[in-house]
Structure 1
Amino acid sequence: MPSVFNPTDVSALTDRVNKLSPSSTPLWGTMAVGQMLAHCNVSYEMVYTDKHPKPNVFMKFILKKLVKNKVVTELPYKQSSQTAPAFIIKDDKDFAAEKARLIDHINQTLELGETHFDGKESHSFGPLSTTEWNNMFSKHLDHHLRQFGV
């Protein structure tokens, strides 16, 4: 799996993001390209902001038991799979603004590096290893970039 902590892999990811245009259409699913970019930004907002409320103890337990392994392993997501409510983007989004935010988030993750993320507490799953953080970020981005054919 490509590494969000490797400059070469990050360059390839950002190249794929830069191939998107406001007229890009999905191969599956219902999100417009701006909504997809905003959706991808939620993963980073949960790391870098307090915008999204953290789940309570019970919900965090459920997420760790039922969702974590689907998110942090290398197994790819299925097309049109279910998403958490915080990731559902219903309103139109500014393509250029969301694209710039996503690239900034990807670069911020690279700059902070593996040591920053090793054992870092995730919003929903508790502490994650560097590999789990990488899988979560990389797999999610790849899924949605493939959704839009890039």
Structure 2
Amino acid sequence: MQNVFSKEDCDQFINRINQLKPDSKGFWGKMSVDQMLAHCNVSYEMVYENVHPKPNAFIKLILRLLVKNKVVDNKPYPKNNQTAPQFIIKRNRDFETEKERLISYLVRTQSLGINEFEGKESHSFGKLTSKEWNNMFAKHLEHHLSQFGV
């Protein structure tokens, strides 16, 4: 698993993102490349922006019990995996804007560092270790960058 807190690994993700083109096609799934970038940004919006409603206590408990381990472990996501409603991007987005946002979130996460995320509260899962944060971010990026062949 790559480490989003490592400058070297972060730069590798950024280099892969920079290989994407507005007309890049996915090997699976329905998203366009601009929608995929916006979709990847949702994970970071939940950390850095206040644009997504937080689940209530009951839903958060269900997410912790049924979803959390699949999201934070180091096993790759299967192709065509089901996603949460807030991650579904229904309309096209501006490719360059979404690409710049994602790169900015990656740089911000890397520069804040591992200690910033140790025990940090997740929007959906409660407190996570920095390793769980890393796994969540890295495996999601890996999944979608591979989807688009970079």
Matched residues in 1 for 2:112 and 2:53: separation?
Answer: 23
Percent identity among equivalent residues? Answer: 59
5+ unaligned residues in a row in structure 1: which ranges? Answer: none
TM-score normalized with structure 2 length: 1.00
Deviations 1:99-133 (A, max 9, x none): 00000000000011001000000000000001000
1:64 aligns with 2:64: yes
C-alpha distance in 2 between matches for 1:127 and 1:49: 18
Distance 2:59 2:138 in 1: 25
Equivalent residue number for residue 80 of structure 2 = 80
Render the CA deviation track for 1:3-24: whole Å, top value 9, x for unaligned.
0000000010100000000010
Q: CA RMSD in A?
A: 0.3
Structure 2 distance, partners of 1:11, 1:112, is 15
1:45 CA drift (Å)? 0.1
Correspondence for 2:111: 111
Q: 2-side partners of 1:92 and 1:131: how far apart?
A: 33
Structure 1 counterpart of 2:98, one-letter code: E
Partner of 2:129: 129
Aligned 1:1-150 pairs, distance under 5 A: 1-150=1-150
Runs of 4 or more, structure 1, over 3 Å off, are none
Could you report, residue by residue, the CA deviation over 1:45-79 in whole angstroms, capped at 9, with x for unpaired residues? 00001100000000000000000000000000000
Number of equivalenced pairs:
150
Secondary structure at the aligned position of 2:100 is classed as helix
CA–CA separation in structure 2 for the residues paired with 1:121 and 1:39: 21
Q: What TM-score does the superposition give when structure 1 sets the normalisation length? A: 1.00
Aligned equivalents of 1:15, 1:4: Cα separation in 2: 13
